Amino acid sequence: MNVTFIGIGAIGLPMAVQIQGAGHRVTGVDLSSHARDMAQENGLVAVDSFAAAPAADVVVAMVATPQQLAALVDSVGADLAGQTWVVMSTVGPDAVREQGARLAAKGARVVDAPVTGGTARAKTGQLVIFASGLQADISAVRPVLDAMGSVRITGPKLGDGQAIKVVNQHLCSVHIVAAAEALNLARSLKLDPAAVLELIEKGAAGSWMLSDRGPRMLQGTDVNVTSSINIFVKDSDLVAAAAQSCGADVPLLSIANARYHEAADAGLGLRDDSRVIETWR
C-alpha cells in the first residue's frame, strides 16, 4: 500500500519504519528538517508537506496535539476520496470526532487508532493499538496497523479509541509521578535510590513505568528523550478535560497534572518525562 506518515518524530519514525519493513511504500512528512534527516538515515523517504508526498492509500496522522491535527486537516485539499486516514495521535475523543467529520466531508474514510507502548515497543512493532471506526475501514488498513503492533478493536464509533487512550494516559501520568515520588522518598531516607529500584521493581510495587522511567530518573537532566514533559502536560490535560466533561472525580490525576505543569514551568518541557522527578527538591 502507498502510505503517507505525518509526524516522524521520536515515536512516529520507528512506526513508519515498521510499516515500510512490512513491504509498504512509505513517505514520511514532517516540518522538522532534523526529523526528515533522521528518517533518511533510516532509509525512509521524507518530505516537508502533505502536498509534496505522492498519492496515498493510507494516511497516518501522528502529530502531537489537537491543534496540530486541526491545522493538518486545514492544510489538505478538498478531495481525499480513496484515502483512509488513521489518527494515531493522542488528541482526545472530541478532537478526533471533529476532525474526523471534516476529513469525511472531504471524502476520506477515518479510523481512530491511538497507540500505547512508547518508543521501545514502536521500534519492535509491539505497540498496542486501540482502533475504532467502521469495521470495513479498519479492515482496509489492517495490513498497515498490523505492521506496528497488536490491534484491539474498540467499537464502531470514532472517539472510542481515544477515550480508552484517555484512561490509559490517566494511569501512565499517575504511575510516572508515583515512581518519581517513591524514588525521592528513598533518597530522603538516605537510601541508594538505584539499589532500592532494583529491589522493589520486581515485587508487588513494581510497574512498567517504574522499570522504564525509574533508571532514567536516576540519571541527569540531559538523559535521552523518549517522551517529553510537554507530552505529558498535553496528555494529562486531555485526561483532566475528559474527566471534567463526564463528571469523573480524578484527584490523583490532578496531582500528577500539577507536577507536569510545574516541571514545564521550570524549563523542563522538552526534557524526558522522567525529569518530573526534579520537581522534588
CA distance 241 to 10: 26
Whether residue 165 lies in the annotated active site: yes
CA distance 136 to 219: 47
Q: Which of 106, 157, 165, 234 is catalytic?
A: 165
CA distance 280 to 181: 8
Output the nine-digit C-alpha cell for 100.
474526523
The type of residue at 68 is Q
* Residue numbers annotated as active site: 165
